[in-house]
A and B are shown apart, each in its own frame.
Chain A
């Protein structure tokens, strides 16, 4: 399964990079969303994939029964997802603002500091 996931992650990265290389700023944002998904998935796979073993401690016990999935990677990804969303929200509003000022979706028209 990890081999398959490696190719999935690679595919997501490729899609993200391609979108980030476009001139349209909307496509850049789509690329960013894909990129954060790709990175999270990479982190998740790297911690090891386990089916049906959530990192939970059964009621009354002190330790989980048997092997569980890596909780640290999950905590990190959780943080990353939320921060990614914050950054995305900011970027989207910023782009919208920039469009109002520049009246263009083309980044080549935004490269000068004076409008």
Chain B
């Protein structure tokens, strides 16, 4: 299983060379991988029936020290997705080989699409929340790269970025939600969390977890109001649209909602949030679809409709709803995959990107016409296609919904009417009627690599419809059981007799066809939507992005102002504030103001030191400042000597002498002090400086009464003579115990010397020039 998931990444790594070696046949060659994976996953079908609880778990160690395992969970739901991903993946890779033939970046395309497929497989098969999230983000990133595949096109880049921002922002929320789930449930393993639903539903964090997880799912699955990135993502090459944006990636959110239904589902909040957002998305999606005329736009918005429908069904949460959701998912993947591939053929052979340009292509593209029609029939939900089975179940589920059944049913029927109209636009408009002037005149029927996908996927839509019961027992019921959290009895059938759902189905067909005949009038009447769009979610997204740029510009201007003293002020004020607050509120400091035991000469030295420091700060004469600086240094040296640090004292005297000489030599080539700062600012700086000084004094006093650990000096004192053969312990430490530190010190000095030398040398050369 590990190999199956990771093989996509492995093959992706060598795909460019395969492409270079095999040339135009590389598409078929690389498509072998998804084909093999499909067979591998299909081989799980019989085992699933025997497995305990309908699930198989496989564990591999990943980061053992952190307890992170790569666990894979195979049940009806993950298997349904895995089969769709690998199955449609096969046709898409083969199709891309031909569709993008001669494109100079085709090798890169294979890398991305295979890596995407592997990420998607990892996502649906992962049982560990962390690895699930990693794969989740990988799909976002590969999708970003695929949308921006034509990276020279500014619009493609912008759409790619939009998709990335929306899905990754949701991903962040999702990560928080998943970690909270793991904390509540006490495990990162899905197969353990799924059986402990009540823990979540009764926990205080339930609503927070639910909102965070749903934010991730809604952005990924383009639910209203996050739907806008999906149609824009159509900037990607058509095979990508067919694969990512209809059959797989956008369903990741749906997958996760379905997956977590046994843990988080079943509450009123779950039902209302999913049901309402789903129903609104369904309606808005199909409405916008019918308003569009671009081939891919129409299909993309109808995908939004499908995602909304799935979300709504998961929200409804009954046994029938789960069956309906899984059947609808399968039906949608089949017909939408086929239709997107047909859209690619329209573009490739006739140069049409807009339905208004098309018409009468049935003579030039007879095979495409037939199978586009077949897929459109499934989309419309006409007997005996699988789409019909799904649609009937959908009606039945919403009619029986435990809450808001009326609202859901009305929206579902209205949407179904518009879906039929969209299906007619896709299935009739380009092929029949008078021959339109297409940008390119199709010379021949599309080649086999392009036709394979539509033919097989559309035919499966018909076969599954005829054998609905078999599909149900084979997979759909198992998938529904995984979502429902309990066994589900197979129910799918092509014919359930004359009932309300069938009546609604018939009504929607008739009204839909009527709507199709009045398509132009519909678009004209709903022209006011353009105005609404200007204030819609996409405009909000644009505003947010512009606002973020403005905010970062503003804070850069304020914080990165280029004045050293403001940087210092910022640092100092924050330090003083934070340290003092912590010291006063968090710790039990004890300050011992013991002024006894001071000898007269010591007090004198300290007084001179402080006076000298004050003079160096206040004097307007440079010589005075440097001289008093020297006095400070020598006083410090005296303190070292008085308190048993002879070596330090000697060094300080030497260094201080050198410092004064150097300052006198160099600084006197610079101009004298100018009174640059007004009095007010000087007082402000003095206050801040005194605050820092006071903080250091208080810290010192507080620290001298606290000792957290024993000094390590005892070891050095004891071992200096026996191990280091030296009687001056300080020297032994420097050259023996801590010799590496001293080496570092020498390196610093050498670097400084090189720097000083270089600057003096270059100046001499500048002068000569």
- Are the chains A and B members of one assembly? yes
Chain A residues at the B interface, C-beta cutoff of 8 Å: 1-24, 26-30, 33-34, 37-38, 40-42, 44-47, 49-59, 61-64, 68-75, 77-79, 81-90, 92-97, 99-100, 105-108, 111-112
Q: Is the CB of A17 within 8 A of B688?
A: yes
Q: Is the CB of A23 within 8 A of B696?
A: no
B128 to chain A, nearest CB (A): 48
B344 to chain A, nearest CB (A): 51
Q: Is the CB of A77 within 8 A of B648?
A: yes
Q: Is the CB of B704 within 8 A of A2?
A: yes
Given A83-B745, A97-B763: A72 in contact with B711 (beta carbons within 8 A):
yes
B572 interface hit (Cβ, 8 Å): yes
Given A57-B727, A70-B713: A46 in contact with B700 (beta carbons within 8 A):
yes
The CA of A92 and the CA of B4, in the complex, are separated in Å by: 64
Give the contact-size bracket for chain B: 35 or more
Given A23-B677, A26-B670, A71-B733: A10 in contact with B697 (beta carbons within 8 A):
yes
Q: Is the CB of A4 within 8 A of B603?
A: yes
B569 interface hit (Cβ, 8 Å): yes
Residue in B613, B643, B700, B738 whose CB lies within 8 Å of A49: B643
Given A24-B676, A71-B717: A44 in contact with B645 (beta carbons within 8 A):
yes
Q: Is the CB of B613 within 8 A of A89?
A: no
Given A12-B613, A75-B738: A89 in contact with B622 (beta carbons within 8 A):
no
B639 to chain A, nearest CB (A): 7
Q: Is the CB of B673 within 8 A of A26?
A: yes
Q: Is the CB of B696 within 8 A of A10?
A: yes
Residues of B contacting A50 with CB < 8 Å? 643-644
Q: Is the CB of A74 within 8 A of B648?
A: yes
B658 interface hit (Cβ, 8 Å): yes
Residues of A contacting B756 with CB < 8 Å? 89-90, 93
Q: Is the CB of B655 within 8 A of A85?
A: yes
The CA of A27 and the CA of B197, in the complex, are separated in Å by: 68
The CA of A12 and the CA of B610, in the complex, are separated in Å by: 7
Q: Is the CB of B632 within 8 A of A34?
A: yes
B704 to chain A, nearest CB (A): 6
A-contacting 9-mer, from B19-27, B283-291, B589-597: B589-597
A-B pairs with lowest CB-CB distance, top 7:
A14-B693, A10-B697, A18-B689, A69-B644, A86-B752, A111-B562, A17-B689
Given A70-B713, A96-B669: A34 in contact with B644 (beta carbons within 8 A):
no
Q: Is the CB of A79 within 8 A of B568?
A: no
The CA of A51 and the CA of B703, in the complex, are separated in Å by: 21
Residue in B625, B636, B738 whose CB lies within 8 Å of A37: B636
The CA of A48 and the CA of B569, in the complex, are separated in Å by: 32
A104 to chain B, nearest CB (A): 8
Chain B residues at the A interface, C-beta cutoff of 8 Å: 562-565, 568-569, 572, 592-595, 597-598, 602-603, 606, 609-610, 613-614, 616-617, 622, 625-626, 629, 632-633, 636, 639-640, 642-648, 651-652, 655, 658-659, 662-663, 666-667, 669-671, 673-674, 676-677, 685-686, 688-690, 692-698, 700-701, 703-704, 711-713, 716-718, 720-722, 727-730, 733-734, 738, 741-742, 745, 748-749, 751-753, 755-756, 759-760, 763
The total of interchain contacts (Cβ-Cβ below 8 angstroms) comes to: 270
Closest to A15 in B: B613
Q: Is the CB of A29 within 8 A of B693?
A: no
Residue in B597, B625, B694 whose CB lies within 8 Å of A10: B694
Residue in A14, A30, A33, A40 whose CB lies within 8 Å of B692: A14
Q: Is the CB of A79 within 8 A of B689?
A: no
Given A24-B674, A33-B629, A50-B643: A79 in contact with B734 (beta carbons within 8 A):
yes
Closest to A20 in B: B568
B629 to chain A, nearest CB (A): 6
The CA of A4 and the CA of B694, in the complex, are separated in Å by: 13
Residues of B contacting A55 with CB < 8 Å? 644, 717, 728-730
- New A-B pairs, 17, CB < 8 Å, besides A26-B673, A89-B752: A8-B609, A17-B688, A33-B633, A41-B636, A46-B703, A51-B642, A55-B644, A68-B729, A81-B651, A81-B655, A85-B658, A87-B748, A89-B753, A92-B662, A95-B666, A99-B669, A111-B562
Residue in B614, B645, B717, B759 whose CB lies within 8 Å of A63: B717
Q: Which of A14, A18, A49, A88 has most B Cβ within 10 Å?
A: A14
Residue in B597, B632, B692 whose CB lies within 8 Å of A13: B692
The CA of A87 and the CA of B647, in the complex, are separated in Å by: 21
Q: Is the CB of A92 within 8 A of B690?
A: no
Closest to B597 in A: A1
Q: Is the CB of B727 within 8 A of A96?
A: no
Residues of B contacting A46 with CB < 8 Å? 700, 703-704
B769 to chain A, nearest CB (A): 14
Q: Is the CB of B663 within 8 A of A15?
A: no
The CA of A5 and the CA of B646, in the complex, are separated in Å by: 18
The CA of A87 and the CA of B730, in the complex, are separated in Å by: 23
Residues of A contacting B662 with CB < 8 Å? 88-89, 92
Q: Is the CB of B659 within 8 A of A57?
A: no
The CA of A49 and the CA of B629, in the complex, are separated in Å by: 24
The CA of A95 and the CA of B662, in the complex, are separated in Å by: 13
B18 to chain A, nearest CB (A): 49
Residues of A contacting B693 with CB < 8 Å? 10-15, 17
B561 to chain A, nearest CB (A): 8
Q: Is the CB of A100 within 8 A of B763?
A: yes
A43 to chain B, nearest CB (A): 10
Given A15-B614, A56-B727, A69-B643: A1 in contact with B629 (beta carbons within 8 A):
no
Residue in B609, B671, B713 whose CB lies within 8 Å of A105: B671
Provide a sorted-by-A list of 6 A–B residue pairs whose CB atoms are within 8 angstroms: A6-B700, A14-B692, A15-B613, A33-B659, A42-B696, A49-B643
Residues of A contacting B594 with CB < 8 Å? 2-3
Q: Which of A1, A84, A88 has most B Cβ within 10 Å?
A: A1
Q: Is the CB of A82 within 8 A of B655?
A: yes
The CA of A112 and the CA of B651, in the complex, are separated in Å by: 39
Q: Is the CB of B644 within 8 A of A87?
A: no
A40 to chain B, nearest CB (A): 7
A5 to chain B, nearest CB (A): 8
Residues of A contacting B669 with CB < 8 Å? 96, 99
Q: Which of B662, B694, B697, B756 has most A Cβ within 10 Å?
A: B697
The CA of A54 and the CA of B658, in the complex, are separated in Å by: 26
The CA of A45 and the CA of B639, in the complex, are separated in Å by: 10
Q: Is the CB of A21 within 8 A of B700?
A: no
Q: Is the CB of B663 within 8 A of A92?
A: yes
Residue in A40, A53, A61, A79 whose CB lies within 8 Å of B644: A53
Residue in A5, A51, A82 whose CB lies within 8 Å of B745: A82
Residues of A contacting B609 with CB < 8 Å? 8, 12
Q: Is the CB of A72 within 8 A of B700?
A: no
Closest to A45 in B: B700
Given A49-B643, A70-B711, A97-B759: A21 in contact with B568 (beta carbons within 8 A):
yes
Residue in A13, A34, A64, A79 whose CB lies within 8 Å of B742: A79
The CA of A11 and the CA of B374, in the complex, are separated in Å by: 88
Residues of B contacting A86 with CB < 8 Å? 748-749, 751-753
Q: Is the CB of B629 within 8 A of A34?
A: yes
Q: Is the CB of A14 within 8 A of B629?
A: no
Residues of B contacting A88 with CB < 8 Å? 659, 662
Residues of A contacting B592 with CB < 8 Å? 3
Residues of A contacting B728 with CB < 8 Å? 55-57
Residue in A3, A15, A57, A107 whose CB lies within 8 Å of B729: A57
Q: Is the CB of B659 within 8 A of A74?
A: no
B672 to chain A, nearest CB (A): 9
Q: Is the CB of B727 within 8 A of A58?
A: yes
Closest to B733 in A: A75
